[in-house]
A and B are shown apart, each in its own frame.
Chain A
Amino acid sequence: MKTQLSIKSIVAIGIGSALFFVLGRFVAIPSPIPNTTINIQYAVLGVLGVLFGPIVGFLTGLIGHVLIDLSWGSPWWSWIVGSGVFGFIVGIVSKKIDMEAGVFGSKEIALFNGFQIAAHIGAWGMIAPGLDILIYSEPVVKAFTQGIAAAIMNGVSTAVIGTVLLIGYAKTKVGTGSLKKEN
């Protein structure tokens, strides 16, 4: 049987990409390094990955990043693929965390952050620089330095913002066993 994307996944990809685009294109939070800004869109992509899974994460990152690049003028494909890979890896954790249960404690925080850090390292520390070297014959040191710097910056912003968002989201859910019998 060929698995089809559910309607909810399709809409999540659509709205998620729009969200990713708006945050990545128009929202600039200055970072400690001059003239660089923090990419907060990856925190939101992480949240969407946890909620909707790897396929939605992958396509949201891919489409959102293509839209961002096209609005500037020209796509840089290797980093676009990186965004997709990040969404995919962070989405795998959705199988281990059940957000509908309304619990996001220290175990879930550790799981989420473990996966998001692995995803950032995979995307910016390996895939994106690897493709840069393959496609553009960039100097190896340059590609990896750039990639690791991006992984650290995005990792920090995802750790802070993503975790806060997920804790807040869990609180909006009514967990099982939240009602107690009164004596």
Chain B
Amino acid sequence: MAETLAYIQRKSLIHDLTGATKFLFFIMWSIAAMITYDTRILLALFVIGIFLFYISKLKWKEVRFALIFMFVLMGFNMIGVYIFGPEQGVEIYGTRHELFVIAGPYAVTLEQLFYMFNFLMKYLSVIPIALLFIMATNPSEFASSLNKIGVSYRIGYAVALALRYIPDIQRDYHNISKAQQARGIDLSRKDKFFDRLKNSAAILFPLVLSSLQGIEVISNAMELRGFGKNKKRTWIVERKFKKEDYRALAFGAILLVISIIVTFSDGNRFYNPFL
């Protein structure tokens, strides 16, 4: 089974921040990276992100497999972008500096290279902060964090339930699939495509039924304990904001504002070195 990114407990400045802070920071960071296409901002975000990752004391080898996976994915994405839009960069930047022609409509232009570099940076600039959020936030703290930033505690609780039941459902899936395979139900390439789909239903059916039963049991238990009676609730894992949290949030907000101002100072979201 493939490796999964998960929380790693460590002592660092980043780990000491509350989950709510890291979540908000991550959201602000994502918004900044989504809005801008300005190369200077993207590079700045990337460098700051790497620096924050360094402070967090997480190790390169702990995220290597995830990075490799993301690079492969991004590689395919970039190839797709080039195949379907070889002149996208020219369209965006308005000039055309042709380097050489590969074949037919596929020319390599400086504009296209620059556009694809920005496209890549837009993705890369979020990765360090996303990794921090995933690996330096205690999942038990996540529900209370959502609640703290204004999301209804009911939704926070739903997320907590999801995190709690992932291992159970994974185990159920494993057991059911082994049992069905023993009965000759095959999901691999050896079977025909539509048979494979139908076979997967044979595994999913018991899984879905047992999950629905689980929903019944859990919601009854919660009902009995009076869940949802009050407007507020307390959490087992909840921390008060400290000075560092306010500083981190202020830093995130300032970054977001600066990135928006710089991005739109010249009228559009692209930084154009060709003019």
Contacts and interface: CB of A to CB of B under 8 A. Distances in A.
Bound pair (A, B):
yes
Interface of A: 4-5, 7-8, 10-19, 21-23, 25-27, 29-32, 38, 40, 43-44, 47, 51, 59, 63-64, 67, 70-75, 77, 135-142, 145-146, 156-157, 160-161, 164-165, 168-169, 172
A73 B127 contact: yes
9 contacts: A5-B155, A10-B158, A15-B165, A29-B196, A32-B193, A72-B5, A75-B126, A142-B81, A164-B205
A73 B53 CA distance: 13
Contact of A17 (B159, B212, B223): B159
B108 to A, nearest CB: 16
Interface of B: 1-2, 4-5, 30, 34, 37, 63, 66-67, 69-70, 73, 80-81, 83-85, 88, 92, 115, 119, 122-123, 126-127, 130-131, 133-134, 152, 154-155, 157-166, 168-170, 173, 187-189, 193-194, 196-198, 200-201, 204-205, 207-209, 211-212, 214-215, 218-219, 222-223, 227-228
Contacts of A5: 152, 154-155
B169 A18 contact: yes
Contact of B158 (A4, A32, A59, A75): A59
Interface centre among B84, B88, B92, B228, by most chain A C-beta atoms within 10 angstroms, is B84
Contacts of A47: 208
Contacts of A16: 211
Contacts of B127: 73-74
A77 B131 contact: no
Give the dominant DSSP class at A's interface: helix
A30 B148 CA distance: 42
Contact of A11 (B1, B69, B219): B219
B228 A4 contact: yes
A155 to B, nearest CB: 12
A44 B173 contact: no
B209 A169 contact: yes
Contacts of B83: 142
A29 B215 contact: no
A38 B197 contact: yes
Contact of B134 (A31, A70, A156, A169): A70
